Structure 1
Amino acid sequence: MRRSLFVLLLAVLAMAGLTVPASATVPVVRPLTVLSFNIHHAAGPDGVTDLDRLAAEIRRTRADVIGMQEVDRHWGERSHWADQPAELARRLGMHVVYGANLDEEPPAAGEPRRQYGTAILSRYPILKWRNTPLPMARPGEEQRGLLEAVVNVAGVHVRAMTTHFQHNNAESRQLQAEVVADAVRTSREPVVLTGDLNATPDAPEIKTLTALLSDRGRGATYPVEDPVSRIDYVLTRDALPLYNRVLPTASSDHRPVLATLLVWRTR
């Protein structure tokens, strides 16, 4: 299996005009399927919040790693006060980490705090993780964050990142993109960035990222029923994209993006 993946890696790199470094004579190659999904707290265009429906959609993708945005944790009535990341992890049998970018007092003493943010689900073990607050250009904007998890993909460590940029201020998105770009530069692992970046590929803030990360995406993702804008992404560094597709959904106001990659390490 490893040899066949290595041969495929060499063939695809050759078609792309790239080469494996001389030091990479015996790479360990792994396929990795990644989903980027702004889940809109599991509320579809029908107005119904349904975690079972969302979990079934994610399961059908067979994704190994899922970067999710707009994830509620005991947030309120709109999501039935559920711990959505934990519930999805339980339904899917996956590991999970959560970045609470909004963290509010509970409705009553002794109850869980109300949280809203991003999550990473992984079929593979998560070795370490962190959530970094992102800057904003104007006071009072929604706090955003960069959630990172180092995932052990059968011996290949990959840094999965997910984020959700400011929706109504390009200056804030640029500041946020620069922080994400710094995190990409300092990563020792291959990087897979998922997210609702609230900007199209020609925007300066996206170009800040694609100067460092490969973008093989195609197809609009928002709004869900008749999408006209591509604002949801799977971007990679030191990983070879093989497949990228926008999927339909009944569980959110964004369409998810599914990507299959090859990742590798050298001995």
Structure 2
Amino acid sequence: MRLAAMVVALVVALGVAPAAASPRPVLTVASYNIHAGAGEDGVFDLDRTAAALRDLHADVIGLQEVDVHWDARSEYRDEAGELARALGMHVFFAPVYDLEPPAPGAPRRQYGVAVLSRYPILAARNHEITRWSTLTPDAEPAPAPGFAEVTVAVRRAPVRVYATHLDYRADPAVREAQVADMLGILGRARGPKILTGDFNAEPAAPELTPLWTKLADADPHGGTYPAADPVKRLDFVTASRDLAIRAARTVATTASDHRPVLAQLTLPG
């Protein structure tokens, strides 16, 4: 006891305060359907897309409608790679469609989702969920890739980030199956989880209800589609309950036909 008292007295005498606990890290996360690099005006301009992404100042970004050597609409460019280089970020691309090249020796034609990260990507996987192909005549819903999962380390703590693009059809049956598939995948992972994506449904849609039993919606209090005058909120940043949502908003830009969603999330201490 006398030794402890002497130590306290010495600390006070020297004017040294006890070290404060480190603040909990904050992660800025975005979700953006980039419309394959075409703006609300229908003009392809990947530099404009990159500028819109740069203006978000996000640590991690989930992207949808990403072309990689897909076709003439995006000049057969590698959008995932080019955007990562333009922003100085790491990238994982998860194709939904992966087709033969147009000519021998050319790159494969791919279209899907991606995750951009300022933090190194420690692990990544392209999961299968239920999909109804738009490329195959008379297709039926079946498991197919295009659900991206990456693990990044924030202050040495692993955080899993997912990017998805759900079915667009009016009938919610495929989205219902996709939600169940995604929850199954998320349920196998431990620790903080962030799901970003274009859900092609609004928050109150019945097919999304199961998500809200496990994830919190970073509600930006504004629409995301169409970009010029949004009347629907189709785009989301959601987080597991061990993450605290500090703030969320949409960002006014017509670099795509959707607006991005931007959220600040506090990680567990």
**Is residue 227 of structure 1 aligned with residue 233 of structure 2?**
no
2:59 aligns with one of 46, 60, 64: 64
3-state secondary structure, aligned to 2:257: coil
Amino acid at match of 1:189: G
Residue 141 to residue 221, structure 1, CA distance change in 2 (3 Å): farther
Amino acid at match of 1:58: L
| RMSD between superposed Cα atoms in Å | 1.8
| Residue 246 (structure 2) aligns with | 242
Give the Å deviation of 1:182.
1.2
1:129 aligns with one of 99, 114, 124: 124
**Is residue 164 of structure 1 aligned with residue 165 of structure 2?**
yes
Amino acid at match of 2:254: A
Note if contact 2:218-2:236 (Cα within 8 Å) is conserved in structure 1: no
Distance of 2:267 and 2:179 partners within structure 1: 24
Residue 51 to residue 141, structure 1, CA distance change in 2 (3 Å): farther
**Is residue 89 of structure 1 aligned with residue 84 of structure 2?**
yes
Give the Å deviation of 1:134.
1.3
Give the Å deviation of 1:216.
2.9
Give the Å deviation of 1:87.
0.2
Superposition map of 1:124-203 within 5 A: 124-136=119-131, 140=139, 145-168=146-169, 169-203=171-205
Runs of 4+ residues deviating >2 angstroms? 1-5, 136-145
Deviations 1:40-61 (A, max 9, x none): 0110012211111111111111
Residue 134 to residue 221, structure 1, CA distance change in 2 (3 Å): same
Number of paired residues? 242
Note if contact 2:251-2:261 (Cα within 8 Å) is conserved in structure 1: yes
> Percent of aligned positions with the same letter in both sequences?
47
Give the Å deviation of 1:137.
6.5
1:31 aligns with one of 15, 26, 35: 26
Distance of 2:140 and 2:231 partners within structure 1: 25
Give the Å deviation of 1:144.
5.9
Distance of 2:207 and 2:121 partners within structure 1: 29
Q: TM-score, normalised by structure 1?
A: 0.86
Structure showing greater Rg: 2
Q: TM-score, normalised by structure 2?
A: 0.86
Structure 2: runs of 5+ lacking an equivalent? 1-18
**Is residue 215 of structure 1 aligned with residue 224 of structure 2?**
no
| Residue 10 (structure 1) aligns with | none
3-state secondary structure, aligned to 2:268: strand
